Structure 1
Amino acid sequence: MARPSTYLGWKIDYAHPLGEPALLDPGSMHWRVYKNPIALAVGGVTAVLLEFAEPRIRSGVWDHSTFKSDPLGRAMRTGTAALIGVYGPASAARRVIQSVTHMHARVSGETPGGETYRALDPDLLNWVAATAVYGFVTAYDRFVEPLSQDEKSRFYEEAAPVTHLYGATVSPGSEAEFMAMLQALRPRFEPHPIIDEFLQTIGSGKAAPAVPKPLHRALARAAVSLLPPPVRRTLALGREHDLRLAEGLALKTGGRLAERIAIRSSPPCQASIRLGLPHDFLYRGEAERQRLLADLRAGVTAGGK
């Protein structure tokens, strides 16, 4: 039996209450993508780079969080919130999202350039939410399994209900819509030492010394490789950040391997059990997943848990 995890004081039990739905359907692209740790790790760093390109977001995160002193802990907490939003019982997910929103309500300030900001500014929330969607689905497509354009669009469309709970007012429904949002914001993007410091921290291995340093460097370079080329040029991330062939192959091997390993205590497996599906539901073939979902929707309890 997996122990409930804790986030912002809330105990999150992904396996209970039995039958309580998540905010997103188990047949969603989000359930498929979020189960993969390589996609989440690479995509999460890409999202931060895109957020830090915007001066107000960069100042808000750097000045009002533990990112610079505890980047791994901050990243893990952000990842936990994301997993709760996808796999947690809907009631628990709403409580956590409301807690995050209340915490963000206290965040405001001024950038070194004299611009004021508020964390709950819808324009900033829209961009933060969009970067996460872009980062995760692009990382999965590049380092786990290629996705069709329809699958990518489904992922973008599914994100809207959750991002709106966080306060976002606009959620891109496709990669093309994300790129249009990016294009509108690009004049505000700028290089900054904080971006370099963030990448150095990720690549150094200091945040997680038990993990081999080459994997950290590969993760940082993989994240940079997912940036749209004009953004990478604007951020002045040169060839020293190029992903090596061996690094890319290692990440793809890890990503594909993770697609086959169902860890019963993990949020994806516990959430599957909660809904009456086998714990390895997400790790089975497409046809088998569709059959299990059809049985579940017809009121048949899946066996083999």
Structure 2
Amino acid sequence: MSFLSVQDQISELVGGLMAPPPGLAFDYTMPAGEPALVSASSISWQIFKNPVSLFVGGVAAVILELAEPSVRSGVWDHSSFRTDAVTRLRRTGAAAMMTVYGPRSAAAAMIGRVVRRHGAVSGQTPDGKEYHANDQRLLDWVQATASYGFIEAYSRFVRPLSDAQRSQAFAEGAAASRLYGALGAPGSVAEWQAMLVAAEPGLERSDIIFEFLEIMRTAPIAPRLFRPVQRLLVRAAVDLVPAHVRALLGIDQLGLSGWQRQAVATMARIGDAVPIKSAPPVQASLRLGLDANYLYR
């Protein structure tokens, strides 16, 4: 089996998450020359090009989101995770692609639509605490966990990033964070760690987290032949959650063994090496007059 054929299979497995659901298609090659919210030379452009680590990091981020009671109620009561997990994941993936690779005008417009939709999302947690999706505290947590998940997945399974590089990646999300209203989102590893310490007393175990993990294991995200790999990537996502939080949530036995970590790392490194021509990272590079292989050298 050739290197390229393995890449093609991995792309089939999770690269489809880079493809937007119906109605959200976008030509990232246009308008020619318009920069993104994040520079093409950024660490973020490297991180977000990898479909394997994006899937793992995205699932890890949702685990951390669901650990916070108000975010959990907002996500579970007002989204389609339970009824159409694949479309929900693809919508989230499309938003991430637009935020990092889209032209600034289109990215700002997309974020504006999300903020307006969130304006209608409110309710009460099971214990009666009121929440609103545009509450800055909740926005900060969602932005922080997403950044942590994507950065940590890339560093853990693709190539190790120094604390300085990881802090730079956190900082590169500032423009998008401001547009979303997450004005207190962490801009460095130290700020993320401080936020996690402050948030931990309010995090809690929930059956919804276990329900989410079961959905991620069994939803038709990957072709049937690759469902065992899909389940392995979900275990990798659990492995990314900080150990003390895994214990708090009761998921500390659901991570990876040693050989499984190596298997995920092998897939992630292959996924990092060959460009997917139709995907936003390549198209955005072309928009800026860069070579299609710019991010893959």
Per the normalisation by structure 2, the TM-score is: 0.90
User: For residues 273-284 of structure 1, what are the structure 2 equivalents within 5 Å?
Assistant: 273-284=286-297
Distance 1:195 1:211, change over 3 A: farther
C-alpha distance in 1 between matches for 2:187 and 2:282: 28
CA deviation digits over 1:204-259, x for unaligned, max 9? 354444352221221111111111111111101132x0302332222111111112
Distance 1:6 1:53, change over 3 A: closer
What corresponds to 1:296 in structure 2? none
Tell me the alpha carbon deviations over residues 175-218 of structure 1, each in whole angstroms, 9 at most, x when there is no partner: 22111101111111111110001111112354444352221221
Matches within 5 A, 1:1-305: 9=23, 11-210=25-224, 212-239=226-253, 241-284=254-297
Whether contact under 8 Å (1:31, 1:87) holds in the other structure is: yes
Which consecutive unaligned segments of at least 5 residues does structure 1 have? 285-305
Report the secondary structure of 2:38's partner residue. Answer: coil
Kept in 2: contact 1:72–1:208 (CA 8 A):
no
Alpha-carbon separation, structure 2, partners of 1:50 and 1:209: 27
- Whichever residue aligns with residue 204 of structure 1, its letter is T
Query: More displaced, 255-264 or 131-140?
Result: 255-264
8 Å CA contact retained: 2:243, 2:252 = no
What is the one-letter code of the residue matched to 1:83? M
Q: CA deviation at 1:171?
A: 1.9
Q: What is the percentage of aligned positions where both structures have the same residue?
A: 48
> Residue deviations 1:99-132, cap 9 Å, x none?
1111111100011111110000000000000001
Query: Which shifted more, 170-179 or 209-218?
Result: 209-218
Gapped runs of 5+ residues in structure 2? 1-18
Cα distance in structure 2, aligned partners of 1:211 and 1:129? 34
8 Å CA contact retained: 2:20, 2:90: no
Is the 2:144–2:192 contact (alpha carbons within 8 Å) kept by the matching residues of 1?
Answer: yes
1:33-63 Cα distance to aligned partner (Å, 9 max, x none):
0000111101001100100000110010001
Q: 1-side partners of 2:167 and 2:217: how far apart?
A: 31
Q: Secondary structure at the match of 1:92?
A: helix
CA distance in 1, matches of 2:214, 2:88: 16
Question: Does structure 2 retain, via aligned residues, the 8 Å contact 1:43–1:132?
Answer: yes
Bigger relative contact order, structure 1 or 2 (CA pairs below 8 A, ≥6 apart): 2
Q: TM-score, normalization: structure 1? A: 0.88
Instruction: Check 1:96–1:8 CA distance in 2 against 1; reply closer, same or farther (3 A cut).
Output: farther
Read off the aligned partner of 1:266 and give its amino acid letter: A
CA radius of gyration, larger in = 1
1:14·1:271 contact (CA, 8 Å) conserved in 2? yes
